Structure 1
Amino acid sequence: MAKDRFLAQGVTTTKRQRNGKPVNSSSSKKDTRRANKATALKNIDDSEDDDDVIGDVDNLEHTYGADRNELSSDDEFLETAAEKRLRLAKEYIGKVKVATDADTGEFDAAQIDRDLIAERLLTDARERSGRWSRRIAAQFAHPVDSQVGYRALRNGHRLPVTCVAITPDGHFVYSGGKDGSLVKWDRVSGKKLKVFSGQKKKLANHNLGHCDHILAIAMSSDGKYVATGGRDRRIHIWSVQNDVHLGVFHQHKDAVTGLVFRRGYNHLYSCSADRMVKLWNIDDMGYMDTLFGHQDGAVAIDALQREQAVTIGGRDRTLRLWKIADESQLVFRGGTATDQRKLTKMLKDDDKTGKDSESNEKTPATDASLLRKQNPDAKADIEQHRDLARRLARDEVELREQCLDAVAMIDEETFVTGSDSGALSLWSIHKKKPVFVHHVSHGVHQDNTEAEKISGGDEETAVGQKNPVRPRWITALAAVPFTDLLFSASSDGFIRMWQLRSGKAPGFDLVNVVPVAGYVNGLAVCELPSKDQLVTKKDIVLTAAVGQEPRLGRWAKEKARNVVKVFHFPSKHTVNNKA
């Protein structure tokens, strides 16, 4: 007869617990502790007798952890995510210390830990978030020496130069002109390396080059490709290394007015007078997508590392941020106007900023007022602009934006536009209107100034009466991405260097001027790479496409040569407070 399972010892104990008769738990726990203690003492005695047990490393790995160098590939999972982050952070801080030691020689380790390393880590975090963080404008606020770092690339184009691009390493410069030719230059020697001549319209082979004005040019971030677009409605792709033509795109229905490569990718964005924005993949030499929205021809485009681009619509006076991944767009409305109240407020704000900075002894060396004192050219230009603003405010002149002509991205959330009224506008994705406007940034045409001097301030011949004011429109913009430095140009004979303000109040201030005669139809700027990637003090190279005529027409003409001008600005680590 089989044993009944209900007579088992465990079941009997369970039934007693169910019947409300508890088991003596205290005695059972004591017995368990005694048994464990006896077992431990026995193991210690055995380990004293047997030395092999102590030397068995495999039995100790789970308690003390194995040496990371002796782990096999299957044991790498023992490092947790927190340990990995800590290890990578220590390695990065070590690299920063080595780079700083090599750059400064003798240094205080504690001071570097507090300032340089923390600042570098914060800067990298901000750049990854898409916001500007590096302040470099103060390094280039010293007076420009026309004999040092300046070079004019001549005899490359028969007609006005319309656009320019520079490779990321700063070795080569590409320029396009109204003669339909693309020219490759050596920046250091100034020699002309290669000329891709324009094709005749009647006998043109559209697969070899442009047969009309080249209006836009773009350089890929890896320095392998150059893209050009022109009035012949075509986009041509060229190889930088082999100097050969790679392909052509002809999907646009009107002149191609703007080109830009996405940073870190070989994705090309183009805008055209046909009001469309198109996307291209240069690695596959294929078309990707088309974006619609502008009510007038788009005249300029810019992009950074995110999958988005910003365009301006010319006479529809809109700035549009295209979020390609989300298939959406943000529309910003331009059309700002100057009046007596705004001009007077601009002058008062400048006075307040200057007094506050001069009265504050703790003002940093990067403050705009201190930089002006060290640069007489910038100071004189500022005073001249203030005199012009006073005259316009006195005569109650109203200048309204009729067309947006240039755009540049400072970071993924901030951009600058220039218009035909001479206004430089600072935009943010958080507001539909400009957060800051600098009116008549490049002055007015000379005939207004001469008429003002001859009239002697007579009301009948004032600037706003018989001689209507013709401001100089902004023809080109460029910015060093994720920094506080940007450039603007027109036909007044100067390229102006601006510094973004720090703090809660948005805006920018003039810190330097570069003399250039003629219409500046295009600007390109790059930071020269250093041997150590962690060094933040880098020289910059600014290239300008200069011509006798504007880029998109022939309604005006200046006495100048059709050249490409290159400026090399050495960085200054500290600002001389005694200047």
Structure 2
Amino acid sequence: MAKDRFLAQGVTTTKRQRNGKVSNKSHSRKAKDNGSESEDGIGDVEDLEHRYGTDTDEASSSDEDAFLETAAEKRLRLAKNYIDKVKASTDLEVGEYDAAQIDRDLIAERLMTDAQERSGKWSRRIAVNFAHEDGTKCVVLKNGHRLPVTCVAVTPNGQYVYSGCKDGRLVKWKRDTGAKLAVFRGQKKKTKKNPPPNHNLGHSDHILAIAISGDNKYVATGGRDRRIHIWSIEEDKHLAVFHQHKDSVTGLVFRRSVNQLYSCSADRMVKLWNIDELGYMDTLFGHQDGVLSIAALQREQAVTVGGRDKTVRLWKIADETQLVFRGGSSTDQHRITKALLDEPEEENSEIAKLPLKRSAVAGKDIKNYAAMLRALASNDCEFSEDCIDCVAMIDEETYVTGGDSGALSLWSMQKKKPVFIHHLSHGVHPNPVTLAAMDDGGEMAAIPARPHWITALAAVPFTDLFFSASSDGWIRMWQLRPGKAPGFDLLNAIPVAGYVNGLSVCELAGDDPMSTRRDVVLAAAVGQEPRLGRWEKQKARNVVKVFQLPSTLPTKKARV
């Protein structure tokens, strides 16, 4: 009797792909054992590379179990494998820590962080842990710049700080010690005595923007010479120069976890760059004035502010669309009075429940700020927002902007107008003693006060904490309000003299992997003059100040 070919070879398990093709698991496994791929080139389910690599348990399972497994059972199995791999990646020596503590602190935090970044909405409340100044460490990075410092950036791992200034120098610092590690000197401009600058060596004019990639490999700088330079952090050398912009490069930002660079310029264009390939990608148009600032997070989108066109634009790059938000709010007596009525009572706030209070200097400044609002509310005053200068993203759908009226505006993708406005966030300039004569009757009237311009913004992504700066001598910390009602409140203030032209912030992981406590590092670019001009000068030092803000969150110690 002839041998049954079907029974001799056995039933091979098959799965139908979405495109209608069928793959043979036995053939695929044999090809893998022989070190070659299948003839049709179609991979199997075991060949798929997930986020944490190939699932070895799935590869070793029997064909019959895989064939009988339902979709729900497969999702459950993959979720269990994902949790096991997260636990294995954070596990330490046996007996050193309790396994239950590992599950509570590390695995839960890792899963929560991943879910937050995928959803794109903020949910971590950390601001109340920084409502104090006791224990704040300040490192002054000096003797690196001769002219006003215009921009600063901290590496995501918190090891280095990069700063640029109006002399065209790029300086690399050690964050914790303040040591100067490398200096990339600027070149002289072309004159009758000087030859044309070699742009492969560095900037020949003011550096206006700095951005650092999420993998701590690349530094991008842009300046008034219309060039974008790419530098290597590990090798401290120049890699490439881009010269597609037709005017000053005013803003740079890297997309998180992807070496994709977004740049904005005074030529009203936004450009996209692939830094891994050191190449140009695309150009976005829409603004009617120079683009002064840009921000981005994880998604393939960016937010820009258009200066005096008073618009904020959200660019959805994958969809090739943009959302236009109209600014230009005004601050008058009615709005200041309403802001005072909406201000929460200090005794009932979350800050009053903390064991550590604000320092005496910061507490006095906040009281003076409230008194200034009450004084303006009793007078007839009006300030209009004529220019939006800076933007910072809180999450993928929420961001904050600041401009020349001193107002901080909170925006959401769901509305075309700001959902909340905090007026005169950094106060007003003191009224001058001199009086101006009226043209008609010769009566004397005091020159009205001018608000302090918002010069820099920075936010801790996916949290309720962000910072603003101006020339009033303070960096202010703000806390988003809990609940569905949008808004934010003044949390604390850090004294800094001079023009704060740039802010950069990052969270430190800490030496103890078992702790959920994270300090915040805030770097400020301080100068005597504004970043984009010389219309005013203050008595200050051209330095970089780095603050390490300790968290009051109690450290959770593991049980041995």
Q: Does 1:161 align with 2:149?
A: yes
Q: Which has the higher helix share?
A: 1
Map of 1:221 onto structure 2: 214
Taking the aligned partners of 1:258 and 1:569, their CA distance within structure 2 comes to 26
Mapping of residues 351-430 of structure 1, within 5 Å: 353-354=344-345, 358=348, 367-370=350-353, 374-375=357-358, 376-430=360-414
Shift of 1:93: 5.9
Segment of structure 1 superposing worse, 542-551 or 565-574: 565-574
Pairing of 1:230-269 with structure 2 (within 5 A): 230-269=223-262
Helix, strand or coil at the partner of 2:231: strand
Q: Does 2:271 align with 1:278?
A: yes
Output the amino acid matched with 2:484. Answer: K
Q: 430, 444, 447: which one pairs with 1:446? A: 430
Tell me: CA distance 1:226–1:76, structure 2 relative to 1, closer, same or farther (3 Å): farther
Amino acid at match of 1:559: K
Query: Structure 1's 505 and 409: CA in aligned 2 closer, same or farther, altered over 3 A?
Result: same
- Once residues 285 and 111 of structure 2 are traced to their aligned partners in structure 1, the CA distance between those partners, rounded to angstroms, is 40
Q: Is the 8 Å Cα contact of residues 362 and 494 (structure 2) preserved in structure 1?
A: no
Residue 161 of structure 2 aligns with an amino acid whose one-letter code is: V
Opposite residue 176 of structure 2, the aligned amino acid is V
Corresponding position of 1:44:
none
**Code of the aligned partner of 1:549:** E
The within-5 A match list for 1:389-538 is 389-447=373-431, 465-530=445-510, 536-538=516-518
Structure 1 residue 354: deviation in Å?
Answer: 1.4
Q: Give the one of 130, 136, 140 matched to 2:130.
A: 140
Q: Which amino acid aligns with 1:410?
A: I
CA-to-aligned-CA distance 1:378-425 (integer Å, 9 cap, x gap): 443332122111121211200110111110000000000011111011
1:310 aligns with 2:303: yes
Partner Cα separation in structure 1 for residue 290 and residue 503 of structure 2: 21
- 1:550 corresponds in structure 2 to 530
Query: How many residues get paired?
Result: 483
1:465-485 superposed Cα distances (whole Å, 9 cap, x missing partner): 522111111100000100111
8 Å CA contact 1:528, 1:540 repeated in 2? yes
User: Following the alignment from structure 2 to structure 1, what is the Cα–Cα distance between the partners of residues 513 and 463?
Assistant: 16
Match of 2:66 in 1: 77
Post-superposition CA distance 1:408-462 (Å, at most 9, x none): 00000000001111101100011111111111111111345x789xxxxxxx87x
Alignment of 1:119-130 (within 5 A): 121=111, 124-130=114-120
Structure 2 counterpart of 1:193: 181
Displacement of 1:505: 1.1
Matched, 1:293 2:281: no
What one-letter code is carried by the residue in structure 2 that aligns with 1:477? L
Could you tell which deviates more after superposition, 433-442 or 388-397? Answer: 388-397
Q: Which moved more, 1:161-170 or 1:374-383?
A: 374-383
**1:257-299 alpha-carbon deviations (Å, 9 max, x no partner):** 0000111111110000000001111111111111010010000
Per the normalisation by structure 2, the TM-score is 0.80
Offset at 1:533? 6.8
AA paired with 1:143?
E
Cα distance per residue 1:460-515 (max 9 Å; x no partner): 87xxx522111111100000100111010111111111111110111111111111
- From 150, 168, 173, the equivalent of 2:138 is 150
Partner SS, residue 219 of structure 2? strand
**Is it true that 1:342 corresponds to 2:335 in the alignment?**
yes
Structure 1 residue 205 corresponds to structure 2 residue 198 = yes
Report the RMSD for the aligned CA atoms in angstroms: 3.1
Q: Contact 2:499–2:529 (CA<8 Å) still a contact in 1?
A: yes
1:179 aligns with 2:135: no
User: Aligned pair in 2 of structure 1 residues 225, 534: CA closer, same or farther (>3 Å)?
Assistant: farther
Of residues 537, 553, 558, the one that matches 1:573 is: 553
1:91, distance to aligned residue in structure 2 (A): 5.7
TM-score (norm. length: structure 1): 0.77
Contact 2:431 2:448 in 1 (8 A): no
Query: 1:39-78 residue pairs with structure 2 within 5 A?
Result: 71=60, 77-78=66-67
Unaligned 5+ segments in structure 2 are: 1-55, 436-442, 556-560
Q: Distance in 1 between matches of 2:59 and 2:152?
A: 55
Q: Cα 1:373–1:243, aligned 2, differ >3 Å: closer, same or farther?
A: closer
**What code does the residue aligned with 2:293 have?**
A
Is residue 326 from structure 1 mapped to residue 326 from structure 2 by the alignment?
A: no
Is the contact made by 1:372 and 1:379 (CA closer than 8 Å) also made in structure 2?
no
Paired residues of 1:143 and 1:377 also in contact (CA < 8 A): no
Aligned pair in 2 of structure 1 residues 106, 472: CA closer, same or farther (>3 Å)?
A: same
Give the percent of matched residue pairs that are identical in Structure 1 and Structure 2.
66
Q: Is the 8 A contact 1:259 1:268 kept in 2?
A: yes
Structure 1 position 126, deviation (Å):
3.2
Cα deviation code 1:35-62 (max 9, x no counterpart): xxxxxxxxxxxxxxxxxxxxxxxxxxxx
Secondary structure at the aligned position of 1:316 is classed as: coil
Between 389-398 and 416-425, the greater mean CA deviation after superposition: 389-398
- Alpha-carbon distance in structure 2 between the residues aligned to 1:70 and 1:522: 51
Instruction: State the alpha-carbon separation in 2 of the partners of residues 546 and 476 from structure 1.
Output: 11
Q: Flag the structure with larger Rg.
A: 1
Residues 227 and 75 (structure 1 numbering): CA distance in 2 closer, same or farther, change over 3 Å? farther
- Measured after TM superposition, the shift of residue 371 of structure 1 is 5.4
Report the alpha carbon displacement of residue 74 of structure 1 after superposing the two structures with TM: 5.8
Q: Higher strand fraction: Structure 1 or Structure 2? A: 2
Cα distance, 1:138 vs structure 2: 1.4
Q: What code does the residue aligned with 1:307 have? A: E
CA contact (8 A) 2:508 2:521 kept: yes
> Residue 9 of structure 1 corresponds to which residue in structure 2?
none
Give the distance between the partners of 2:225 and 2:528, measured in 1 at CA.
22
C-alpha contact 1:378 1:511 (8 A) present in aligned 2: no
Shift of 1:340: 1.5
Tell me: CA distance 1:108–1:298, structure 2 relative to 1, closer, same or farther (3 Å).
same
